[in-house]
A and B are shown apart, each in its own frame.
Chain A
Amino acid sequence: MIVAKRKPFDEIRQLLKGYKKVLNVGCGTCVAVCLAGGEKEVSVLNAELDMAGKLDNTPIEIAGITIERQCDREYLEALDSKVGNYEALLSMACGAGIQFLAERYPQIPVLPAVDTTFIGVNQAVGWYEERCRSCSSCVLGHTGGICPVTMCAKGLYNGPCGGTNKGSCEIDTNQPCAWYMIYERLKGQGRLDCILEISPPNDWQNQIPRTVIQPGYSKPEAAAK
């Protein structure tokens, strides 16, 4: 899932400065699961904003709504009849969701309440770790299911570098060396031949905005224009 974390409260207040009537839009998918921007977080943030506004005499009328997914038109539609009543929208969705929201209502300022952080896993409730940089050219088949692009601090394709320190990365003893893990896992599987071959320079595909059209589908005429 996409993991996000709430922005510092003061930063959110700074973004909202001058707006008196705001709708906080949560997202019920990834950011809800990682406890950053779902229904609960929307109401907590709204309560804090309401209280802070009252305390320093800059009252703000803030409403909340959480839709299933902000990255999906089907769910955004539910907001069409509501957004006209607000001066600004605050979004607790990921960077993709908030942009889709802003795109749908271009006349209304849309402000982020979270920092989108990574594509990661749920280690335990409230504990998430990054696993994928969405590079568009997955090498996991050769690296024992451990991503060197994400998990190696230098993103090396032919590691490990000389900084491996008793199995940890040179940047931090608490950070395991990705290539040490790759080696250990492949060795356990009897597949070290996978990394004997030189991995050639990567054909970076994440340097421009990417579009995916699945086989059998096409862009609708209107969107293509």
Chain B
Amino acid sequence: MKSGSNLEKILKAGHFAFTGELGPPRGTGAEEVRHKASFLKGNVDAVNITDNQTAVVRMSSWAASLIVLQEGLEPNYQMVCRDRNRLAMQSDILGAYTLGIRNMLCLSGDHQKFGDHPQAKGVFDIDSMQLIGMVKKMRDEGKFLGGTEILNPPQIFIGAAANPFADPFEWRVHRLAKKIASGVDFVQTQCIYNMEKFRAFIKQANDMGLTEKVYILAGVTPMKSVGMAKYMKSKVPGMDVPDDIIKRLQGVDKTKVADEGIKIACEQIEEFKEMKGVAGVHLMAIEWEHKVPEIAERAKVLPRPVID
């Protein structure tokens, strides 16, 4: 065991993992976090706590992670390279681990231009690839990036993201290989809608032997509306939404669109369960946390395994 986190145990035992996502509030107070967590508890193996996602200021990821932990839910602490230099990152990792955080997701971060402080100076002292390597060095060598020894090194299960759909497609699997070489333990993918392209990506990863070295969790976000699908297709960089998905949502009664979105997600999850090289699903039900119990139920991923 590298970290002993629940997510690590589930994956190591060969169970099909199921993770969720929770965005911290744009303000103070634990209630909103606890409320969202209540829908996820027992339905997911770990929950990603986003770090100023879309470059909008929110409660810090480690703080919301701790609240979630108090609720009996395991956090997957996200950290982006946009807001911190290597000193701040390492000190936050020490603090997070000390207070019980065991999983981390290492990300570059959306550019600050998108957020509520577009004038901000982006840090990007190190990139996501280098962040993975830094956390691994802290864990496995017990050393800071600068080389000095760490007293009681943090034992973190190291995660990263992969976007199989962004250009250049042929390079994506090699970038995954680089993340594995950096030391990543698990990978959560960008929201998948183009199944054909994802199958091709996973096949490449299987052929290169990568899926034996890393746990890949397929990213799923149910479409709530036709508008959301169109927005994701045209406005979200690196997102690949085939027209078929939009047509299918348009083809049902207006009151049934969200239900159809969940249906599509469940069909995807069924396929991922059988797909060689896929170790689980990462469900990103954005501001739709209350739907997670229903989605988990319909996707037949309940009850979640309990491992001591």
Contacts and interface: CB of A to CB of B under 8 A. Distances in A.
A163 B127 contact: no
Given A154-B111, A154-B127, A201 B166 contact: no
A157 interface: yes
A196 interface: yes
A184 B130 CA distance: 23
B270 interface: no
A153 to B, nearest CB: 5
Contact of B166 (A153, A157, A163, A198): A163
Nearest to B134: A201
Interface in A200-215: 200-202, 204
A192 B109 CA distance: 25
B111 A170 contact: yes
Contacts of A44: none
Contacts of A184: 168
Contact of B238 (A158, A162, A199): A162
Given A183-B168, A201-B134, A158 B127 contact: yes
B230 to A, nearest CB: 16
B125 interface: yes
B167 A164 contact: yes
A166 B167 contact: yes
A171 interface: yes
A177 interface: yes
Interface stretch (B56-64, B92-100, B174-182, B272-280): B174-182
Interface string A120-161: 000000000000000000000000000000000111111111
Interface string A7-21: 000000000000000
A200 B145 CA distance: 11
B82 interface: yes
A165 interface: yes
A177 B111 CA distance: 13
Contacts of B86: 201
B142 interface: no
B166 A158 contact: no
Nearest to B82: A154
A177 B171 CA distance: 14
Interface in A171-225: 171, 177, 180, 183-184, 192, 196, 198-202, 204
A164 B111 contact: no
Contacts of B161: 162
Contacts of A157: 127, 129-130
Contacts of A162: 108, 161-163, 166, 190, 237-238
B111 A171 contact: yes
B257 interface: no
Contacts of B174: 192, 196
Interface string B202-215: 00000000000000
A201 B133 CA distance: 9
B81 interface: yes
A95 interface: no
B173 to A, nearest CB: 12
Given A177-B167, A198-B129, A164 B134 contact: no
B108 A204 contact: no
Interface of B: 81-82, 86, 108-111, 113-114, 122, 124-130, 133-134, 145, 161-163, 166-168, 171, 174-175, 177-178, 181-182, 190, 237-238
22 contacts: A153-B111, A154-B122, A155-B124, A156-B127, A156-B128, A157-B129, A158-B128, A162-B161, A162-B162, A162-B166, A163-B110, A165-B237, A180-B167, A183-B168, A183-B171, A192-B174, A198-B130, A198-B178, A200-B130, A201-B130, A202-B126, A204-B125
A-B pairs, 7 with minimum CB distance = A162-B163, A158-B129, A170-B237, A165-B237, A163-B237, A164-B166, A156-B127
